[in-house]
Structure 1
């Protein structure tokens, strides 16, 4: 199973744990949403039920628990601070107040073998929410399987959790999105960006989440209508160009090659010296020139 599936312009500020709760309280009031409340919105064809919390260990863990308890799709959980946020490949996700941390529950059905579409769908939704805010939209790009970049820095990430029945049919799917609005956290292996770095007056997390959910609902409808080719083409239009040099850590090996597109299942195609390698799981980095 793919590893991403789990069965300064001087304006960005580093996170200080000591003031996280008070900052979260401020964010919970900013934009008019009280903490620990539920809001109902119908956007993008989905009746979203948004739970807002000042602090949670992990929004995805909360939504997965609700999924196992039988919650209907459309549940979205937003936290102003996560204390045990998760990133891809088991990494911790630094989750300071001021950024957007939201996880949603969908029950799309279909086979688990088709799950490669969901990181693409989620990335497109994040891009749709971010692009209108940027003074230079061309700086935004998508990197397989789950990164949203500004230039060569990470603006956001996506984590997919899912469960399937014995026949391999999806029972539920949880999409976790983390987007750096006001703060660029320190990452161990790459540089991070935030919207405030771009001179953007970063929106309150709950307002950004509304835009994100509206876009996610739109792309979910495209998937339901069988528009997988359109989803792939839209993702490729926002990804780094075909031919971009990539370094991939895959199945215990380091591969170097050039981006050659997506497979029908949404996997990465890497052109190497002896042909095209299909990558279903791995850590992908833009090669240093």
Structure 2
């Protein structure tokens, strides 16, 4: 029997929960539910996902004990605001991780390290969470149009709770590897709780400036060397900030500024090794 529970405040705000012992993809199922008429505000969770995927269709492994969770939304806001919910999800996950982890500091890692405020977890643009400079979690947003011309959104969160993939081109870690005593069920409970406040702060896009400010407080790599892969080429410079629309801002060596809406970001030693 599943031990997953949704937080009382989430339940009071109309959110629902379905938990599975195993599933192909929580995001895929969420979008199927939306096309079948589900009204949204539904969490789908599992500790074993067999065909999950990350950004750009990459495989995302969820071995038994890790967390795969998707929030299905059928919103009233405009589609142009949808992408910024990734930053809401990042803050939510960061808040949840802080809630379930003992307070301590990590050293700066090879792909971004921790933010200057000494927080344990760092947010890597656009939709990753790092611990000690290694990838701990990823977020994937997907949308589908509905027959009534509205759209549905699947906001997927994958966290390495007990294990992380081997042979990746970047460092990765898990909560177990970091000696954080927390299982997938406890982490999801904290996520479902933290989402409520961050969604309220976002306020259908009207509060994006507040989300941006909070995100930058926990951002990885601000002020450090960065390499961004954009459509087959590599742009190098210093990660300066994210702009008012949460796009990535790079200061080039010649002083020019490049604003990036989508791309693969690498910091530090990984940035130095990145090639076109």
Q: Scaled by the length of structure 1, what TM-score is found?
A: 0.81
Kindly report which structure 2 residues correspond to 1:71-90, keeping only aligned pairs within 5 A, or say none.
Answer: 71-90=38-57
- Among 76, 101, 104, the alignment partner of 1:136 is 104
Alpha-carbon distance in 1 for matches of 2:143, 2:77: 12
In the TM superposition, residue 252 of structure 1 has moved relative to its aligned partner by: 2.1
- Paired residue for 2:162? 182
CA contact (8 A) 1:45 1:217 kept: no
Note the alpha carbon deviations across 1:101-146, whole angstroms, 9 max, x for none.
1001113333333233111111001001101314425331011001
How many equivalent residue pairs? 254
Q: Which protein is richer in strand relative to its size?
A: 1
Structure 2 unmatched ranges of 5 or more:
106-118
> In structure 2, which of residues 201, 220, 223 is the aligned counterpart of residue 222 of structure 1?
201
> Residues 146 and 152 of structure 2 are in contact (CA less than 8 Å); yes or no, is this contact kept in structure 1?
no
Q: Is structure 2 residue 174 aligned with structure 1 residue 194?
A: yes
Give the counterpart of 2:17 among 50, 53, 61. Answer: 50
| Partner in structure 2 of residue 123 of structure 1 | 90
Alignment RMSD (CA, Å): 2.4
Residue 239 in 1 paired to residue 215 in 2?
no
1:196-222 residue CA offsets vs partner (Å, 9 max, x unmatched) = 22222122x222112101111211111
**Per-residue Cα deviation, 1:208-258 (whole angstroms, up to 9, x for no partner):** 112101111211111227221110000000002531211100122101111
d(CA) in 1 for partners of 2:152, 2:186: 26
Regions of 4+ moved over 6 Å: none
Any idea what the Cα deviations from partners look like across 1:42-82, whole Å, max 9, x if unmatched? 42873221111011110110001111122112111111211
Alignment match, 2:186: 207
Deviation at residue 271 of structure 1 after TM alignment: 1.1
Deviations 1:129-178 (CA, angstroms, capped at 9, x unpaired):
10131442533101100110011110100000013579xx8622111001
Identify the range of structure 1 (228-237 vs 39-48) with the bigger mean alpha-carbon deviation: 39-48
